[in-house]
Each structure stands twice: as structure tokens, then as C-alpha cells.
């Protein structure tokens, strides 16, 4: 009979560390937006109001539109200067290495516990997997930063058309609470995206490495285990304790960690290796 294996844990510490680093990146973007855009909102709105027609459709003076466009170009350049691709690569590459080391320790623990010996397997594929994580995450972070800037641009132009006070526009961009419609600021949205990227990507890579390392060791099937944290899917709770093969996966073709923000893990079935 196969030995009962210890529960494998999710890399929550790495997830929190990655979230902190990505939020710092978002704060850097916010600082550039504050300096280039928010600090100039009062002047922009005063100029817009002075040219606002009183009995006709609202039309922004082209010079003001050009001025705002120039501010956003300067903001994009400032973000590129403060948040370099090199910095993002260093952060994401370091995180990938942390996840790999964590995952290897977890796999080694259960394999040694179940088989009674420590099985070392060469991993010629590992460097490529970690590089893919780095490239993909750099792109995700840059896309998130670009989305932040685009949302700010929309808020500014919308505020200009509606004649909002500069304080209200600034609140929509950087506010810490919710507005009268219950919406959080664009900065808060961006921080939430950073948190989501970190949670999702850390667990995805952990799940992928778990799969690759188990298959590399000759493990053909696994027991689906759900890490109960109040955010698990009903289907994943249903699969908890069920056995699936790596070749086919769950009833919908997924394996633990595949779906967004999934913290489930695959407990290796070692019966074939024990024969």
C-alpha cells in the first residue's frame, strides 16, 4: 500500500513578495502620472473652462488638446525611464527562481516520503520554462501599466468634456476610497491588477513545474488536492481527492494551477514507481 503523503503547500510567501514588488512598480507609474498629469490638472481645467461655449456643443480648443497629448507622451516616456525592462526582468526572473526552488523542495519531500529514497532527475527543460515565465510576466506588467495610463487618459478627457473640477478628476485617478458611484480609483484598479498577476502567475508556474517534475520522474497520475482558502472553485472542491492522469487532466482538461488564481495542487500517485 502506498504511503500517505504530506500535504504540499502553496508558495504563499513568494506570492506575497511578488505582489509587493509589482505594487511598487505600479506606485512608480502612479508617481509619474501624478507629476506629469495630476499636477497640471488645475491649469488644464481653467483653460478648458475659459474656452467653453455656453449655448452650443462643447468643443475643446485644439491647443489644449495638443497640450494634454504632450503631457501623456511625457508620462509614457517617464514611465519607460522609471520602469525599465531590465528592472522588470530582474524581478520576474528572481521570482521564477524562487518558485522553482520552492516547488523542487515540495516535490523532493513527497517523493522521498513516498518512495523512501531521494530521486534526482536532470532538468534540461527548466531554464526554458523559467525564461518563458520571465518574458510573459514582463509583458503582463507592461500591459498593466499601459492599461493604467489609458484609463487615466480617458478620465482626463472625459473630465474636460464634462467640465469637472480638477480635484474630482484627481480623485478618480489617485483616490484611496470609492466615488459616489462606488468605483475605486484608477490607481486602486492598477494595484488590484498587480495583485492578480502575482497570484495567478506564481501558482501557474508552480503547477506547471509540479507537472513537469512529476512526469520527468515517471509519475503518470495524481490526486487533485484543493487548498481551502475560501476562494476555491466549486468544481475544484468537487474534484478534491479524485485521481486524474497527467495526459488527460480534469474533466475539462485542466490540471491544478492551470485556471486563473488556482491554488490547488497535484499529489503524485507513486504506485507505478513502487512496483
pLDDT in tens, 136-173: 999 999 999 999 999 999 999 999 888 899 999 999 99
Taking the alpha carbons at both ends of the chain, their separation in whole angstroms is 11
Going by pLDDT thresholds of 50, 70 and 90, the confidence category of residue 233 is confident
pLDDT in tens, 157-214: 999 888 899 999 999 999 987 766 678 999 999 999 999 999 999 999 999 999 999 9
- What's the average model confidence in pLDDT over 6-11? 86
**66 vs 194, higher pLDDT:** 194
User: 3-state DSSP call for residue 208?
Assistant: helix
Whether 58 has a pLDDT exceeding 70, the answer reads no
| Residue 121 confidence (pLDDT) | 78
In this structure, the chain runs to a length of 275
| DSSP3 helix / strand / coil % (the chain, rounded to 5) | 65, 5, 30
Band the pLDDT of 42: cuts 50, 70, 90. Answer: very high
The neighbouring-strand residues paired with 178 are 184
The residue that leads in pLDDT, 153 or 51, is 153
Q: What beta strand segments (E) does 100-220 contain? A: none
* Span 113-124, pLDDT tens digits: 888 877 777 899
Predicted confidence band of residue 59 (pLDDT cuts 50, 70, 90)? low
Q: Which residues, at least 6 apart from 93, have a Cβ–Cβ distance to it below 8 Å? A: 130, 134
Angle (deg, nearest 10), helices 186-216 and 166-174: 10
Which has the closest alpha carbon to 99: 244, 232, 199? Answer: 199
> Does 2 score more than 80 pLDDT?
no
Confidence of residue 235 (pLDDT cuts 50, 70, 90): confident
Confidence of residue 232 (pLDDT cuts 50, 70, 90): low
Does residue 1 surpass a pLDDT of 50? no
If 0-12 CB within 10 Å is exposed, 13-18 middle and 19+ buried, where does residue 26 land? Answer: buried
> Which one has a higher pLDDT value, 272 or 201?
201
Query: Of 204, 184, 201, which Cα lies nearest the Cα of 192?
Result: 184
The C-alpha cell of 24 is what? 511598487
Amino acid at each position: 500500500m502506498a504511503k500517505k503523503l504530506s500535504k504540499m503547500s502553496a508558495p504563499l510567501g513568494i506570492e506575497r513578495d511578488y505582489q509587493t514588488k509589482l505594487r511598487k512598480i505600479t506606485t512608480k507609474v502612479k508617481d509619474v502620472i501624478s507629476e506629469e498629469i495630476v499636477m497640471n490638472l488645475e491649469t488644464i481645467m481653467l483653460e478648458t473652462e475659459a474656452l467653453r461655449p455656453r449655448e452650443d456643443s462643447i468643443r475643446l480648443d485644439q491647443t489644449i488638446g495638443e497640450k494634454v497629448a504632450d503631457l501623456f507622451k511625457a508620462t509614457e516616456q517617464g514611465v519607460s525611464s522609471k520602469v525599465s525592462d531590465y528592472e522588470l526582468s530582474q524581478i520576474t526572473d528572481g521570482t521564477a527562481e524562487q518558485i522553482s526552488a520552492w516547488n523542487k523542495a515540495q516535490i523532493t519531500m513527497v517523493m522521498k516520503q513516498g518512495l523512501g529514497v531521494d530521486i534526482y532527475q536532470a532538468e534540461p527543460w527548466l531554464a526554458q520554462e523559467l525564461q518563458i515565465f520571465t518574458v510573459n510576466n514582463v509583458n503582463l506588467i507592461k500591459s498593466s501599466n499601459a492599461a493604467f495610463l489609458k484609463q487615466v487618459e480617458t478620465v482626463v478627457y472625459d473630465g474636460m468634456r464634462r467640465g469637472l473640477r480638477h480635484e474630482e478628476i484627481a480623485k478618480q485617478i489617485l483616490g484611496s476610497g470609492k466615488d459616489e458611484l462606488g468605483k475605486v480609483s484608477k490607481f486602486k484598479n492598477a494595484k488590484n491588477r498587480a495583485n492578480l498577476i502575482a497570484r495567478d502567475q506564481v501558482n501557474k508556474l508552480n503547477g506547471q513545474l509540479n507537472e513537469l517534475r512529476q512526469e520527468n520522474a515517471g509519475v503518470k497520475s495524481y490526486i487533485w488536492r484543493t487548498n481551502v482558502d475560501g476562494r476555491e472553485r466549486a468544481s475544484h472542491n468537487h474534484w478534491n481527492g479524485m485521481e486524474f492522469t497527467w495526459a488527460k487532466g480534469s474533466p475539462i482538461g485542466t490540471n491544478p494551477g492551470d485556471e486563473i488564481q488556482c491554488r490547488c495542487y497535484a499529489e503524485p500517485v507513486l504506485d507505478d514507481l513502487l512496483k
